[in-house]
Structure 1
């Protein structure tokens, strides 16, 4: 008969989880808070939005796409791919859109879910695939609500907005801000980029994929598999390994690229203000071959004086200058340690996951948490969200959860599978001991890789280590009841 499984979230990881569990014969229901699937690619629709992972690597291994039009796909194209994959994999019909899960509580041997529509029933197993880049963070700047023009987070871009001829301000310097400035600098009256910390920017040209190549991929799918493997090796064996101290030669090459890119800035003062004082890779690397050209355009201004307050007319900086604006964009990132919130998760003996994770989030192998049997995460604590293609890591975690589902289903009735506390403590001690060897810990910066307790909360080893750690569950690490 299979298990009754709830998947929370219909972004890329939720689609992967639902497809795998459906293929295994389980009864799957997907709950999505929004009106349609898509996750971060539904939320982010600002001008210039694109993936910083090559298109032919940023896809499900089991759903190749010969039709990518660019080497680095734009957000709308990725969203269309997810739509198509969900239909082709039989997942689209399993999604209950507009139903946000507000509460998941363990009752006996099953999880009861409550959504915005009420009681959603009981499930043998729950997979939280809610993503990490979907809870916008707004800065605590005095007067933020006083602005008379249009203001919004970059992930809440108004569909009816045209920036042509307007005075635009962008607060933030990460990937979103870089993409926005690059996309609109040539059509606004003025754009002011308010920078607190400069970023290292890696230059890779984003070229169109020729129609002949797309036709060849469609005719010979093995070509796509070969490209997928090659890109994966380049990403994981070089870039990702460099960040965790396993490939210093690759890290030196990345730094050389970033410095050569920065050298394109002609004005010495502007170049100095755009130069970071921390090691390359310490923050998530920004990918762009257009930003430095855009920030040097006549309409662009880099503002490095601290913001004092926001006023009705614009942004007032510490030097007393008022930067008059029509539109103000907060490209200020996301709460990457939100994981399950605002959903309440109540586990064994009334344990509340908010309380257990009040100081720092922890899990066994990023997937399972003591006290919460049969409740598993895709993209949980210490997932490598900044190292590898998220779709590759999600697939690996979904495969591990599929193995846990097999353990749940192994008895005459569904069992409770819960990570042992000692195994979880040992796992997290190993993670913490390995972290000083990474560029995030040693690179001299602060970033969204640091959790609320000040610990780096990413993956400190290679991709091969990651997949090996999730090859199959070890029953000795779990209580089976």
Structure 2
């Protein structure tokens, strides 16, 4: 009988994107033995997968980096995908993570063993792992969402996150379905390169001009400036109608300046409140759509034909290449990874019944010594997600320290504390722009905000600056002295 090798480790991190690498570096700096599982052949997460032309981060790079590892050489107001990926490789090397990551290794199941007080993690092709602490850093934006459409398209078709660089779009007619951030970045490239571009738009996005960087500043000063510029958006998003109206007026001025055709302006004018979906920042998206060789189709898509896209009015719009800019299946990463807790139920089974929730977006009752990075209600719509992740990392490290200090096998959040946090998030989301009626991935099927933190990121930092031991109970077998 073949015996699968089991590797013991103190901390096992699943995922080697920004969050997973940050967790591994932070915990290693605190003396923890850490191993990382990465299903792909290389690190980087979303910045490894998204290689479409024009891919970049719309958060200023001074803020889109860990505070412990600033990237001072980024002088521009944005960083491209290759620059960010190179930074992640340098970050991993600088923190001694390269030999701690098992590449091409997919975690296929995680189970808490009450007898041993360990998380047992199976992989697709051994070895398996046994860990005191489990950190799930699988990310939310890594499984493409491709709409199910009747019919089939005969030409090349791919999602922006799976860009086919073997396809030459020069002079060809390219159809793009979707109007999110990836569409706003790739369409200017297509307008410069392709013969024609047709955008199929379900609902237009709010677009603001790119923020100007007027003065060169030292990295830490720039980081501070950019942080508070982002925080200035919070009152508008969380209930100030007057500030929201000013923000919308600014976006409409940007639209009017860049799109002279009144019919096209009308088609590109959103009908939902700004911030209800993700706000885009671009100076080139509108001019690309205003070109003679670009067309915006607002009639809903009905299906595909061999040579184009069919809309519900019966018309078939010709295309040579089809690009899906349709976002991601937010919970799909965890859907493929059963995480079985103390009572034998999986994390998604619990969430399917009660809705996705975690205490401070990080811990779940029934799952001792397990931590979610980027969990429910830790998303952010106005500033860098890395600020939130850094807050979580400090909290996670403090939880591990408390476990050691008390000599217990594990700590588990109380169900009542988790419910209270979920109720607070629902209550604080009432009256915010995210619950004003538009369809977005921020809301679940019951129109409850389970994605975003409904407030300023500094408030989350305050909530997680100490480990609230009173909301946890000891779990697992007694530890030997």
Q: Is the contact made by 1:113 and 1:119 (CA closer than 8 Å) also made in structure 2? A: no
- Aligned counterpart in structure 1 of residue 278 of structure 2, from 277, 284, 288: 284
- Aligned counterpart in structure 2 of residue 164 of structure 1, from 170, 177, 182: 170
**CA distance in structure 2 between the partners assigned to 1:166 and 1:437 by the alignment:** 46
**CA distance in structure 2 between the partners assigned to 1:337 and 1:250 by the alignment:** 32
Q: Is the contact made by 2:201 and 2:298 (CA closer than 8 Å) also made in structure 1? A: yes
Residues 27-426 of structure 1 aligned to structure 2 (within 5 Å): 27-108=33-114, 109-143=117-151, 146-204=152-210, 223-236=218-231, 238-245=232-239, 250-263=243-256, 264-338=258-332, 340-359=334-353, 360-412=355-407, 415-426=409-420
2:467 is aligned to 473
Shift of 1:250: 4.7
2:479 is aligned to none
Shift of 1:205: 5.6
Q: Is the contact made by 2:387 and 2:457 (CA closer than 8 Å) also made in structure 1? A: no
Higher mean alpha-carbon deviation, 24-33 vs 350-359, is at 350-359
- Aligned counterpart in structure 2 of residue 21 of structure 1, from 22, 27, 38: 27
Higher mean alpha-carbon deviation, 292-301 vs 315-324, is at 315-324
- Aligned counterpart in structure 2 of residue 448 of structure 1, from 433, 437, 441: 441
**CA distance in structure 1 between the partners assigned to 2:271 and 2:156 by the alignment:** 34
Q: 4+ residue stretches of structure 1 with deviation over 3 A?
A: 247-253
Q: Is the contact made by 2:369 and 2:411 (CA closer than 8 Å) also made in structure 1? A: yes
Unpaired segments of 5 or more residues in structure 1? 218-222
* TM-score scaled by length of structure 1: 0.92
**CA distance in structure 2 between the partners assigned to 1:391 and 1:162 by the alignment:** 35
Q: Is the contact made by 1:240 and 1:388 (CA closer than 8 Å) also made in structure 2? A: no
User: Deviations for 1:62-105, whole angstroms, at most 9, x for unmatched residues?
Assistant: 00112115311111111111111111122222111111111000
**CA distance in structure 2 between the partners assigned to 1:318 and 1:121 by the alignment:** 52
**CA distance in structure 1 between the partners assigned to 2:259 and 2:129 by the alignment:** 59
Q: Is the contact made by 1:197 and 1:276 (CA closer than 8 Å) also made in structure 2? A: yes
**CA distance in structure 1 between the partners assigned to 2:226 and 2:52 by the alignment:** 27
Q: Is the contact made by 1:186 and 1:297 (CA closer than 8 Å) also made in structure 2? A: no
Q: CA RMSD in A?
A: 1.9
Shift of 1:462: 1.5
Q: Is the contact made by 1:244 and 1:462 (CA closer than 8 Å) also made in structure 2? A: no
Aligned length: 463
User: Deviations for 1:297-348, whole angstroms, at most 9, x for unmatched residues?
Assistant: 1221101111121011111112332211111011111112335221011110
**CA distance in structure 2 between the partners assigned to 1:254 and 1:353 by the alignment:** 39
**CA distance in structure 1 between the partners assigned to 2:150 and 2:291 by the alignment:** 30
Q: Is the contact made by 2:143 and 2:333 (CA closer than 8 Å) also made in structure 1? A: no
Report the CA distance shift for 1:3/1:411 in structure 2 as closer, same or farther (over 3 A): farther
**CA distance in structure 1 between the partners assigned to 2:448 and 2:43 by the alignment:** 32
User: Deviations for 1:185-205, whole angstroms, at most 9, x for unmatched residues?
Assistant: 022111100001111101116
**CA distance in structure 1 between the partners assigned to 2:302 and 2:346 by the alignment:** 39
Q: Is the contact made by 1:387 and 1:459 (CA closer than 8 Å) also made in structure 2? A: no
**CA distance in structure 2 between the partners assigned to 1:166 and 1:69 by the alignment:** 35
Report the CA distance shift for 1:474/1:139 in structure 2 as closer, same or farther (over 3 A): same
Q: Is the contact made by 1:240 and 1:463 (CA closer than 8 Å) also made in structure 2? A: no
**CA distance in structure 1 between the partners assigned to 2:242 and 2:464 by the alignment:** 28
**CA distance in structure 1 between the partners assigned to 2:301 and 2:455 by the alignment:** 38
Q: Is the contact made by 1:56 and 1:224 (CA closer than 8 Å) also made in structure 2? A: yes
Q: Is the contact made by 1:3 and 1:26 (CA closer than 8 Å) also made in structure 2? A: no
**CA distance in structure 2 between the partners assigned to 1:400 and 1:241 by the alignment:** 26
Shift of 1:415: 2.0
Q: Is the contact made by 1:167 and 1:325 (CA closer than 8 Å) also made in structure 2? A: yes
Q: Is the contact made by 1:188 and 1:299 (CA closer than 8 Å) also made in structure 2? A: no
Unpaired segments of 5 or more residues in structure 2? 1-7, 476-481
User: Deviations for 1:24-48, whole angstroms, at most 9, x for unmatched residues?
Assistant: 1111001111110001111111111
2:478 is aligned to none
User: Deviations for 1:95-137, whole angstroms, at most 9, x for unmatched residues?
Assistant: 1111111100011200011111234220000000111111111
Q: Is the contact made by 1:203 and 1:261 (CA closer than 8 Å) also made in structure 2? A: yes
User: Deviations for 1:149-205, whole angstroms, at most 9, x for unmatched residues?
Assistant: 010111000132321111101000011111111122022111100001111101116
Shift of 1:406: 0.8
Q: Is the contact made by 2:9 and 2:35 (CA closer than 8 Å) also made in structure 1? A: no
Secondary structure, counterpart of 1:80 in structure 2:
helix
Report the CA distance shift for 1:377/1:339 in structure 2 as closer, same or farther (over 3 A): farther
